[in-house]
Amino acid sequence: MAKPNKKAPEASVKIYCSVCKTQLFKYKKGGKGSLVKCFKERITEDHTTTSCTCPKCGTVFAREMLIRGTPAYKIISGKAFMK
């Protein structure tokens, strides 16, 4: 399978916790679909202290995994949203 595009997309989105509405990431998202995964190399601002956990309410919103050989966060459905 192909690796993610090395040249990051220009459109940035902000990712928030669904429980407490705290900003988690600023992310360069490609495509126009829903938020399923976040490649670590495309995160421009990281507001979390421990990975995959909301800094305010402590909700686990993702799992760390390798997707196509690249480190990424797989978002748990309904735990985070983007604007």
d(CA 33, CA 35): 7
Looking at the domain assignment, is residue 74 inside a domain? yes
Looking at residue 31, its pLDDT comes to 84
Q: Residue 38's closest CA among 57, 59, 12, 19?
A: 12
Looking at the domain assignment, is residue 41 inside a domain? yes
Looking at residue 55, its pLDDT comes to 95
d(CA 39, CA 28): 9
Looking at the domain assignment, is residue 5 inside a domain? no
d(CA 11, CA 57): 28
Looking at residue 39, its pLDDT comes to 93
| Domain ranges, residue 20 | 12-82
Q: Residue 25: helix, strand or coil by DSSP?
A: strand
Structural domains of the chain, count? 1
What six digits make up the tokens of 17?
């916790």
For the chain (83 residues), the mean pLDDT of every run of 10, in chain order, is 72 95 94 92 94 95 95 96 94
Looking at the domain assignment, is residue 7 inside a domain? no
Looking at the domain assignment, is residue 32 inside a domain? yes
Looking at the domain assignment, is residue 3 inside a domain? no
The whole-model pTM stands at: 0.87
Looking at the domain assignment, is residue 69 inside a domain? yes
Looking at residue 9, its pLDDT comes to 80
